[in-house]
A = this chain, B = another copy of it.
Amino acid sequence: MERQTAASDIWERDLGRNSANYVPLTPLSFLRRSAAVYPGKTAVIHGRLRYSYAEFAARCRRLASALAKAGIGKGDTVAVLAPNIPPMLEAHYGIPMLGAVLNALNIRLDADTIGFCLDHGGAKVLIADREFSATTEKALAKCKVKPLLVEIDDSEADYAAIGGKRLGDLTYEQFIAGGDPDFVGDAPVDEWDAITLNYTSGTTGNPKGVVYHHRGAFLNALGDVTFFALHPRVVYLWTLPMFHCNGWCFTWAVTAIGGTHVCLRRVEAAAVFRAIEEHGVTNLCGAPIVLNLLAHAPESVKTKFDHVVDVATGGAAPPSAIIAAMERNGFRVTHAYGLTETYGPSTFCAWQEAWDELALEPRARVMARQGVTVLTFEALMVADPETMKPVPRDGQTIGELMLRGNRLMKGYLKNPEATAEAFRGGWFHSGDLAVWHPDGYAEIKDRAKDIIISGGENISSLEVEEVLYRHPKVLEAAVVARPDEKWGEHPCAFVTLREDAGAVSPDEIIEWCRANMARFKAPRTVVFGPLPKTSTGKIQKFLLRDSARNL
């Protein structure tokens, strides 16, 4: 057959977009739908409070209406400083309904950084929980913007115990009471419009403002639904901060499927186990520290439940001991990986049926890998960041983990250089160094800046840490480079011992490492003590590097 002129114009003529067959993608449609389909179903649980989907949607519309009356419109920033309580969830809908942008702030940040974020994002309203009034007061005194302050005075909080005073005279409940429960917000005109602003926790320098869009939020939420095979009977417990990548977009995903959000001001083991028992929690997410908390909880607070609770964790690979303890307690752990720039999980360690029969240790080893792209994320590659050539899939060659797809940020706010740098070569550069296994699974070996070069050999600090974590007396460990006259650098381990460890010598630790990995990779210095952490719980390796340099 001869190549003919493509007849493709017949597929376009009179077949354009119209208001019936084209709707911008936005997670706002999830709330509209669940309020229509499940009006009487419990959408939100918080302490003694229960909001049905009809009530939850009405509260979101009231918030949007009240904000509109306060002058907020398209492109305006509304900051929220609150734990995982209903107003934070409502902010994920009420603010975008106006085309405004939600900036959910990390409650663990210091006042200076909060002030920086308020200024950089240009906050016009700050909705802040009383618990953080000290920080709020200081931040507002320092920053240049003068946002309207709306204070959350949570009926379920014991402020006498947790602290926090009232700073002004406008509470959140008063504010939204003045809003119209039937308010119709503007749908975004363009699905590329900004929906939220999330500041990276950045271990050094000022945080960067990551901008998410409606299309990405919609697709990430649907990806979350497929990740856990969520269904309308899902009961999702908020152990992951909503200020963290908008709760990995589960703020929208749970609503999408018509499930129930269970709020939680503080992540405490007893409260988590109680919620599982009382509300039949089916799913939760959290940093490794949450798993630690649950795995090591005293037996007295552990409740028995006869269903499996699905848990996603990210930030670091779950060690085998934690996996085993979680499984014994009725949890099933999935390891995911992502960054603020990817709206949360971009890859996960997708289960292979062949692993069903694996024993714990080899299972933990395959599960430790960051894995493959989640559904609706387009592609990953491990490549040389200079040549952009993929590394061989040999499980050995180190490259940078790079990502591509609709679940990536628009870019960094007011920072075109950082945006261009992050997206150079048409891929997002994660800054994480990884190997690519023959089965296509990526495994992170280190942050680019955390690799240790000793005698010309690369040593992955993560690999050394993994061995340290397997030592029965080690609770936490971090490894950084220490300058070394002979080798250039050598691995220096900072170790927190378990409470019941008793006396342990540095040599015992070093010998353990030498016995369990290539000798040249074993630390030559071991320091015992607590580890410095960021507000999101990340270990601050730059401080440890300073310490190692000055030992």
Q: Chain A interface (Cβ within 8 Å of chain B)?
A: 1-4, 6-11, 13-23, 25, 29-30, 32-33, 36-41, 70-77, 99, 101, 122, 124-125, 148, 192-194, 211, 216, 222, 225-226, 229-233, 256-258, 350-354, 372-373, 375-376, 378-379, 403-406, 408-411, 413-414, 416, 419, 423, 426-428, 439-440
Contacts and interface: CB of A to CB of B under 8 A. Distances in A.
B10 A99 contact: no
B351 A232 contact: yes
A228 B381 CA distance: 31
Contacts of A23: 378, 404-406
A20 B425 CA distance: 8
A71 B1 contact: yes
Contact of A20 (B3, B15, B404): B404
Contact of A428 (B11, B20, B256, B414): B20
B18 A426 contact: yes
A376 B20 CA distance: 14
Contacts of A21: 216, 404-406, 408-411, 423, 428
A497 B326 CA distance: 59
Given A19-B404, A124-B1, A350 B6 contact: no
Contact of A71 (B2, B19, B72, B427): B2
Contacts of A426: 18-20
Contact of A3 (B32, B71, B231, B379): B71
Contacts of A194: 8, 11, 15
Nearest to A403: B20
A1 to B, nearest CB: 4
A382 to B, nearest CB: 13
A24 to B, nearest CB: 9
Nearest to A230: B229
A33 B373 contact: yes
B222 A33 contact: no
Nearest to A422: B20
A340 to B, nearest CB: 14
